[in-house]
Amino acid sequence: MTETLVASQSKETIIGFDRPFTVIGERINPTGRKKLAAEMNEGNFETVIADALAQAAAGAMILDVNAGVTAVDPNKTEPPLMRQTIEIVQNTVDLPLCIDSSVPSALEAGLEVAKGRPLVNSVTGEEDRLEVILPLIKKYDVPVVAISNDETGISEDPDVRFEVAKKIVEHAMDYGIKPHDIVVDPLVMPIGAMGTAGQQVFALVRRLREELKVNTTCGASNISFGMPNRRVLTGHFLAMAASHGMTSAIMNPLHDEDMHAIFAANVLNGTDKDCRAWTSKFRPPLAEGQESARGARGGRRRRRG
């Protein structure tokens, strides 16, 4: 029954074993989006605002915010841009945020301005990262994504990745951070490059849940990198991972394939109570006769009022 509380100023999202799967919207991220990077560099946040609104409307429950517009001197450029982007996003939508950077000072800049209880993305198993990020997590009392790689890189052996995750959880506990505030990313490899990538994630997610009792997340679309018909493959990966106990993903809520997979997984994992979310999303529209009957009733009621 592990639960990770993430919050904006007034809205809570709980990532949890018995909760509907948590959709973390991935769009506000200039990595690989040259146009967005250029806009953000120029102080133009129109796309950021549009992406925030669109993802919220599509059902995102947390918004990832990344401000990595340049590889040149990110220690200087990223903190102020992260601060500004967070402020703009939280003035646009009232959703919990995920502060996403590999630059510790950018994470801290985001933490200084983010309202509520943001999720920090991320810490790895590298010693110098642990020593810098975990004190921040403790200081701000926020949850953190733990990526299961370390100084040796990303192991192809899932047992090694499990041990790295375990090491991060233990280090965090030394700082007084509870396992329920660690959301482990077991690392999703492209299936086109590593044929066991799917099975590895499914097995790792089960172990992380049963043995470490932590919530899990991943960058879902990595699985289909380089493959044709990526969206359908990513969608099914999400449903399969969820059925093995994955509790959240950084994904694209604007892709119907992703969202339908999440809705279906919630139904089939028993976290969509009485299938209410599914039926309200997909209930067929009323036929014309029914519509006009309803209209007539409404009309009568209005005439009475």
Q: How far is the CB of 196 from a copy of itself (least distance, A)?
A: 5
Q: What part of residues 118-157 is at the interface with a copy of itself (CB under 8 A)?
A: none
Which CB atom, from 175 or from 278, has the smaller least distance to a copy of itself? Answer: 278
Q: What part of residues 166-195 is at the interface with a copy of itself (CB under 8 A)?
A: 191-192, 195
CA 197 to chain centre: 20
Which CB atom, from 79 or from 198, has the smaller least distance to a copy of itself? Answer: 198
Please identify which residue in 152, 196, 290, 292 interacts with a copy of itself, judged by CB under 8 A: 196
What three-state secondary structure class fits 153? strand
In which element (H, E) is residue 132 found? helix 127-140
CB 108 within 8 A of CB 67: no
Which CB atom, from 168 or from 265, has the smaller least distance to a copy of itself? Answer: 265
- Report the amino acid identity of residue 266: N
Please identify which residue in 31, 44, 152, 279 interacts with a copy of itself, judged by CB under 8 A: 279
Residue 171 exposure: Cα atoms within 13 Å on the Cβ side: 22
Count residues binding a copy of itself (CB under 8 A). 39
Q: What part of residues 56-95 is at the interface with a copy of itself (CB under 8 A)?
A: none
CB 187 within 8 A of CB 148: yes
Sketch the per residue contact string, 247 through 276, with a copy of itself: x for CB under 8 A, - otherwise.
Answer: -------------xx--xx-xxxx--xxx-
Which CB atom, from 78 or from 258, has the smaller least distance to a copy of itself? Answer: 258
Q: What is the 3-state secondary structure (H, E, C) of 7-56?
A: ECCCCEEEEECCCCCEEEEEEECCCCCHHHHHHHHCCCCHHHHHHHHHHH
Q: How far is the CB of 288 from a copy of itself (least distance, A)?
A: 18
Strands 215-216 and 182-185: parallel
* Number of Cβ within a 10 Å radius of residue 43: 8
Which CB atom, from 270 or from 305, has the smaller least distance to a copy of itself? Answer: 270
Helix then strand then coil, % of the chain, to nearest 5? 50, 15, 30
Is residue 287 involved in binding a copy of itself (CB under 8 A)? no
Which CB atom, from 120 or from 188, has the smaller least distance to a copy of itself? Answer: 188
Token pair of 288 as six digits: 């014309």
Q: What part of residues 207-246 is at the interface with a copy of itself (CB under 8 A)?
A: 223, 227-229, 232-233, 235-237, 239-240, 242-244
Please identify which residue in 9, 75, 91, 199 interacts with a copy of itself, judged by CB under 8 A: 199
What is the residue-wise DSSP string for 226-262? T-SSHHHHHHHHHHHHHHTT--EEEE-TT-HHHHHHH
Q: Return residues touching a copy of itself (CB under 8 A).
A: 191-192, 195-199, 202, 223, 227-229, 232-233, 235-237, 239-240, 242-244, 260-261, 264-265, 267-270, 273-275, 278-279, 281-284
